[in-house]
Homo-oligomer: A and B are copies of this chain.
Amino acid sequence: MTLATTYDAALPEWLLARLDRLPAVLPTREERMDLVNDLADRNWRAGNGGPFAAIVVDTATGALVSAGVNVVLSSGLSSAHAEVTALSLAQRALGRWDLGAEDAELELVVNWRPCVMCYGATMWSGIRSLVIAGAGPELEELSGFDEGPMVADWAAQFEERGIRVTIGVREEEAIAVFREYGDSDALVYNARGSAGGA
């Protein structure tokens, strides 16, 4: 067979259409998570996949550096979770793979604890700070997604590598998004053909 030599992912149409209306500056963590929860909710309602979103913010200025959502279905790439998308788009915007270079203080804001893949993706990105709405079992229970096996001391492992972890920003609002998704008939796509309604 012919081997592929490139792969690419793009933000979905619904988000491209809103990009100019996203706030350029988000001074507080609450404002950042409000945007993330809003994007996560819009993503699944637009039929674009899971209720997940992530943004990268420059904490020195509050500037929005990137906005990502889960684009697994629309991009055809299983790695295109919200965190990977937001981190990759930040790397494109800044022109470097190491988001921690040049003493940058960049923060990844996500609407729940990352899955095991995105845990590693965050760790290798150079990001200095992770802010999540929550870290409990609610995501898997309400949405039906498998988040994978994580070490018990996952947050301490981040801190040891110089990545600050903040848990519990707009948690109830995040849970409300997962609950509405889980109560819908949206497709939960787990791998190996096992996709089924949640």
Q: Within 8 Å CB of A148, what residues of B?
A: 119-120, 123-124, 157
The interface residues of chain B lying within 8 Å CB-to-CB of A24 are 1
Least distance between A173 CB and chain B CB atoms (Å) = 23
Number of copies: 2
Determine, out of A31-39, A66-74, A135-143, the stretch whose residues face the partner at the interface: A66-74
Interface size on A, residues (CB 8 A): 74
**CB-based contact A92/B149 at 8 Å:** no
Check if A60 is an interface residue, CB within 8 A of chain B: no
Partner of A92, one of B6, B84, B191, B192: B6
Verify B191–A126 contact, CB threshold 8 A.
yes
Q: Which residues in B have their C-beta under 8 angstroms from that of A119?
A: 116-117, 120, 148
Task: Name 14 interchain pairs, CB-CB below 8 A, sorted by A.
Answer: A3-B65, A4-B66, A5-B89, A76-B95, A100-B191, A115-B120, A115-B124, A117-B123, A120-B148, A124-B191, A127-B191, A149-B151, A150-B151, A161-B192
Which residues of A come within 8 Å of B, CB atoms?
1-11, 16, 19, 22, 24, 63-67, 72-73, 75-79, 84-85, 87-93, 95-103, 115-121, 123-128, 146, 148-151, 153-154, 157, 161-162, 189-193, 195
